[in-house]
Structure 1
Amino acid sequence: MMRGIRGATTVRENDANEIIQETKRMIEEMAVKNEIKPEEIASVLISVTKDLDATFPAKALRLIDGWKYVPVMCMPEIEVPGSLPQCIRVMMTVNTNLNQKDVQHVYLNDAVQLRPDLLKDS
């Protein structure tokens, strides 16, 4: 079954290293919590708010062992007045046996406010 796993995080600054490290932390947590292996991933889409342009957050995936062939693409997030700044959002499409209600979405840093209804206790 194909499922989407959502994730989001924020950074303090428009800094390439911080963007990559926070993206990597989020992606790894998404994979661990949902027991996802790289070969089960169809694709990963990453969006960033317009205030983040120091690097491509997709570079973070290349730092994870075994993720060399995972298709990934970055894009800008749409601008909505009052939306969360310095935010990186992820949609990971995976093959999994998890029921939709059992998927564990990951929201880190200030992004926890985006979808508190989807957060599960660890």
Structure 2
Amino acid sequence: MLVVRGIRGATTVERDCPEDITEAATELLHEIVKRNEIELDDVVAVIFTATKDLSSAYPAVAARKMGWNHIPLLCCQEMAVAEALPRCIRVLMLANTRLAIQDVRHVYLRGAKCLRTDISG
């Protein structure tokens, strides 16, 4: 039976420029889809957040460039918490899947690997 699961992920960029943000977001989305064997038609929605120091581009542009034109996408600013990981893009993908909740593979790349070592695999 298909159920909707939330799949988390995060990555970082070296610079606040559209190319770096798009490249990192594209890499993150590809990895989430690959590791969880998600079909494009099964993606319900994707929420992106970016830290305050990233303002040159929306991370959702990466999804649009990947052809995700009929999937609802939302970009928000991450809470500005003292000593938070800088230049960080986070993702919450909602997708229909047959995976059990404990089998969902959350994806943390680049400098964001340190955020959730307990679930990132």
Shorter-chain TM-score range: over 0.9
How far apart are residue 23 of structure 1 and its match? 0.2
Give the corresponding residue for 2:21. Answer: 19
Q: Secondary structure at the match of 2:118?
A: helix
TM-score of the aligned structures, taking structure 1 as reference length: 0.95
Give the corresponding residue for 1:77. Answer: 78
Q: Which runs of 5+ in 1 are unaligned?
A: none
The one-character-per-residue Cα deviations of 1:28-67 (angstroms, maximum 9, x if unpaired) are 11001101111111100000000000011100001214x2
How far apart are residue 81 of structure 1 and its match? 0.7
Matched, 1:97 2:101: no
RMSD of aligned C-alpha atoms?
A: 0.8
Count, aligned residues = 119
Matched, 1:68 2:69: yes
Q: How does 1:1-122 map to 2 (within 5 A)?
A: 1-65=3-67, 67-120=68-121
Corresponding letter in the other structure for 1:112: K
Q: Which runs of 5+ in 2 are unaligned?
A: none
Corresponding letter in the other structure for 1:81: A
Q: Secondary structure at the match of 2:27?
A: helix
Corresponding letter in the other structure for 1:77: E
Give aligned-pair identity as a percent. Answer: 40
Corresponding letter in the other structure for 2:7: I
Q: State the 4+ residue runs in structure 1 displaced beyond 3 angstroms.
A: none
How far apart are residue 114 of structure 1 and its match? 0.3
